[in-house]
């Protein structure tokens, strides 16, 4: 009997790990999700336990298959999307990480980056990025210098480095396969996006042994098979690994040059497909690889915002303002405005377009009349203001006006946020019925690698289009207040 086949996406995000099962009609059949632990050992440091990330991955895979009553033999391929830049180094023989994973948001490498400041121009030319603790290179250097004996072990060829995709493929393959794809490699600060290879000059400059690095592959191809011990003796092809933001660009159907998406997850990431051209930003954005299909490379222009949805998590977990983030939409609508409150969520400094790694978050404009609903509304509005900062830079760099912005990610469920965003940006904001577009992107790329899908099979349905309603003058006045708040926050 011919059994129905599915594609499984694993989305390893900063806040949570999900497994999402898709059918051939690009519909979600089931989801399993687990929130992981983030460690904050010192101010500005953010770490994860890579072993926990792996345990949660195994758990969600088993959970989703059981929930949907799907056997491993019915999974045509696995695709992985992952939080990018987060760096793990582990021992080749034991498979044990030598230290926690240093998360992309983490700032323990600020001093390393200070000492690398003079390389910024070279780095930008070769990688499309900038010297910043955000990217993997300074994290690798820090791990090699701070974990006793690590540098020597790396030089002996005993250690392996990976971003989360590489770690998961290595674990899924039973320790056989050490690879990454171009979209993830392009976030390390070590990959030359013109020549498409690890850059020897950068490796030498940053004193990083090439032996640590994974082989770089296309975004959609069968890299390896899963270890049969993992899934009832079956081996499943792993057909895609892709950075989660590039996966969302793909999952949003942004296949054509000039199309833009904004994901509101832990951070906020706006990406524009720039086709086969590298657009060099003069306004604080990054040039990055979107994906490689066959021999063809596609690029993107990116505005990376370090803290977006995680402000809502902070208000929940650290201030205990509410139990479920869902309530924030109602609270924001309960008040007419923020009563003059601004929330600049510079918890780990500010990313694009400011790139200030020392400023700290501020809530300003408080009066005795301000209450928790004003603060929650200011936090939601900050996500929209940050998107406008980046969108304005993107229009300037690309010369392309943006009339329609596609949104996804956990916080895109919030209607208040999306209406405010549309009012502020003066453009359509479109949300699709499937909010798991990162997973769809990874699944579809994996499905293409095994001929389960071809590009013409790609379908997504619009859920709601938000159009500007509030007067422009009012929005301009709000935004001017935001810009003042950001300037204050960046003053030493
Ligand atoms: N209804 C909501 N309103 C605002 N923020 C939300 C809402 N639901 C979830 N979030 C925020 O979105 C983030 C989770 O988004 P998600 O896309 O799952 O993140 P990631 O992929 O980084 O793990 C959390 O930081 C959470 O606080
Ligand atoms: O965890 P997310 O979804 O906010 O994504 C993290 C980014 O990939 C970091 O560059």
User: Residues 369-379: pLDDT tens digits?
Assistant: 999 999 999 99
Its sign, for the CA torsion 404, 408, 412, 415, is: positive
16 lines ligand 1 (CB under 6 A): yes
**Does 224 reside within a domain?**
yes
At residue 345, the pLDDT reads: 97
18 marked ligand binding residue? yes
Q: What gap in Å lies between CA 255 and CA 446, rounded to an integer? A: 16
Distance between Cα 86 and ligand 2 center (Å)? 9
The atom of ligand 2 lying closest to the CA of 86 is 9
Q: Given the DSSP bridges, would you call strands 197-198 and 179-181 parallel, antiparallel or unpaired?
A: unpaired
How sure is the predictor about 492, in pLDDT bands with cuts at 50, 70 and 90?
low
CB atoms within 10 A of CB 30: 18
**Does 337 reside within a domain?**
no
State the pTM of this model: 0.93
Q: What range does the domain containing 74 cover?
A: 6-244
Q: Which among 80, 103, 83, 102 is positioned nearest to 170, based on CA atoms? A: 80
The atom of ligand 2 lying closest to the CA of 304 is 10
At residue 400, the pLDDT reads: 87
Using CB atoms within 10 Å of the CB of residue 246, give its burial: 0 to 12 exposed, 13 to 18 middle, 19+ buried. Answer: buried
Q: Given the DSSP bridges, would you call strands 268-275 and 260-264 parallel, antiparallel or unpaired?
A: antiparallel
User: Residues 222-268: pLDDT tens digits?
Assistant: 999 999 999 989 999 999 999 999 999 999 999 999 999 999 998 99
At residue 138, the pLDDT reads: 97
Distance between Cα 38 and ligand 1 center (Å)? 15
Cβ atoms of residues 236 and 174 within 8 Å = no
Distance between Cα 52 and ligand 2 center (Å)? 18
How sure is the predictor about 15, in pLDDT bands with cuts at 50, 70 and 90?
confident
Distance between Cα 48 and ligand 1 center (Å)? 18
- Residue among 12, 267, 308 whose CB has most ligand 2 atoms within 8 A, to mutate: 267
Task: Kindly identify the ligand whose nearest atom is closest to the C-alpha of 348.
Answer: 2
Cβ atoms of residues 69 and 4 within 8 Å = no
Spell out the alpha helix ranges (H) of 69-175. Answer: 110-115, 120-127, 136-146, 150-155, 164-172
15 lines ligand 1 (CB under 6 A): yes
User: Residues 102-143: pLDDT tens digits?
Assistant: 999 999 999 999 999 999 999 999 999 999 999 999 999 999
At residue 179, the pLDDT reads: 98
**Does 448 reside within a domain?**
no
Backbone phi, psi, residue 200, to 5° = -60, -40
The CATH number of whichever domain residue 136 belongs to comes to 3.30.420.40
85 marked ligand binding residue? yes
pLDDT of 2 higher than 80: no
Helix (H) / strand (E) element for 345: namely: none
At residue 351, the pLDDT reads: 94
Its sign, for the CA torsion 296, 445, 184, 246, is: positive
3-state secondary structure of 213: coil
Beta bridge partners of 431: 407, 464
Nearest CA to ligand 2 atom 5: 83
**Does 196 reside within a domain?**
yes
78 lines ligand 1 (CB under 6 A): no
Average pLDDT, the chain: 95
In order of 114, 166, 212, 213, the CA distances from 157 in angstroms are 28, 17, 7, 10
At residue 176, the pLDDT reads: 95
pLDDT of 70 higher than 90: yes
Q: How many domains does the chain have?
A: 1
Distance between Cα 372 and ligand 1 center (Å)? 19
At residue 1, the pLDDT reads: 46
User: Residues 380-428: pLDDT tens digits?
Assistant: 999 999 999 999 999 999 888 888 999 999 999 999 999 999 999 999 9
User: Residues 133-176: pLDDT tens digits?
Assistant: 999 999 999 999 999 999 999 999 999 999 999 999 999 999 99
**Does 402 reside within a domain?**
no
Q: What share of the chain is helix, strand, coil (3-state, %, to 5)?
A: 35, 25, 40
Task: Kindly identify the ligand whose nearest atom is closest to the C-alpha of 268.
Answer: 2
At residue 491, the pLDDT reads: 87
At residue 473, the pLDDT reads: 96
Please, which residues have CB within 8 angstroms of residue 230's CB and are 6 or more apart in sequence? 58, 61, 172, 174
Task: Kindly identify the ligand whose nearest atom is closest to the C-alpha of 409.
Answer: 1
% residues pLDDT > 70 (the chain): 99
% residues pLDDT > 90 (the chain): 94
Nearest CA to ligand 1 atom 2: 411
**Does 91 reside within a domain?**
yes
Residues with CB under 6 A from ligand 2: 13-14, 83-85, 104, 243-245, 265-267, 304
């Amino acid at each position: 009997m011919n059994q129905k086949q599915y594609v499984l996406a694993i989305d390893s995000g900063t806040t949570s790990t999900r497994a999402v099962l898709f059918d051939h009609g690009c519909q979600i059949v089931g989801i399993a999700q687990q929130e992981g632990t983030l460690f904050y050992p010192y101010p500005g440091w953010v770490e994860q336990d890579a072993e926990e990330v792996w345990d949660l991955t195994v758990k969600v895979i088993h959970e989703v298959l059981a929930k949907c009553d799907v056997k491993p033999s019915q999974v045509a391929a696995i695709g992985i999307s992952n939080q990018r830049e987060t760096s793990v180094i582990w021992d080749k023989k034991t498979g044990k990480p030598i230290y926690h994973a240093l998360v992309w948001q983490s700032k323990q490498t600020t001093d390393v980056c200070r000492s690398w400041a003079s390389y910024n121009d070279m780095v930008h030319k070769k990688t499309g990025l900038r010297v910043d603790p955000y990217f993997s290179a300074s994290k690798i250097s820090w791990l090699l210098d701070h974990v006793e004996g690590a540098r020597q072990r790396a030089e002996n060829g005993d250690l392996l480095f990976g971003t989360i995709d590489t770690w998961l493929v290595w674990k899924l393959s039973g320790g056989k396969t050490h690879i990454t794809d171009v979209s993830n490699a392009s976030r390390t600060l070590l990959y030359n996006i013109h020549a498409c290879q690890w850059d020897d000059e950068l490796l030498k400059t940053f004193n990083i042994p090439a032996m640590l690095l994974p082989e770089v592959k296309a975004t959609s191809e069968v890299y390896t098979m899963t270890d049969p011990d993992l899934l009832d003796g079956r081996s499943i092809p792993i057909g895609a690994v892709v950075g989660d933001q590039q996966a969302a660009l793909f999952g949003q159907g942004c296949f054509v040059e000039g199309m833009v998406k904004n994901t509101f997850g832990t951070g906020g990431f706006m990406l524009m497909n720039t086709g086969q051209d590298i657009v060099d930003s003069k306004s604080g954005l990054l040039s990055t690889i979107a994906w490689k299909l066959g021999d063809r490379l596609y690029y993107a222009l990116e505005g990376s915002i370090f803290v977006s949805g995680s402000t809502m998590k902070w208000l929940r977990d650290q201030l205990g303002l509410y139990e479920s983030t869902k309530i924030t939409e109602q609270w924001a609508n309960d008040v007419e405005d923020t009563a003059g409150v601004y929330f600049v969520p510079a918890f780990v400094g500010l990313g694009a377009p400011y790139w200030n790694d020392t400023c700290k978050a501020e809530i300003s404009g408080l009066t005795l009349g301000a209450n928790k609903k004003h603060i929650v509304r200011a936090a939601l509005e900050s996500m929209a203001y940050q998107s406008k900062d980046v969108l304005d830079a993107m229009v300037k760099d690309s010369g392309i006006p943006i009339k329609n912005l596609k949104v996804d990610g956990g916080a895109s469920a919030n209607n208040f946020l999306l209406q405010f965003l549309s009012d502020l940006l003066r453009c359509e904001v479109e949300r699709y019925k499937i909010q798991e577009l990162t997973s769809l992107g990874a699944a579809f790329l994996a499905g293409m690698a095994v001929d389960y899908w071809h590009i013409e099979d790609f379908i997504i349905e619009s859920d709601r289009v938000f159009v500007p309603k509030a007067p422009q003058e009012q929005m301009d006045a709000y935004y001017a207040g935001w810009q003042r708040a950001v300037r204050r926050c960046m003053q030493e």
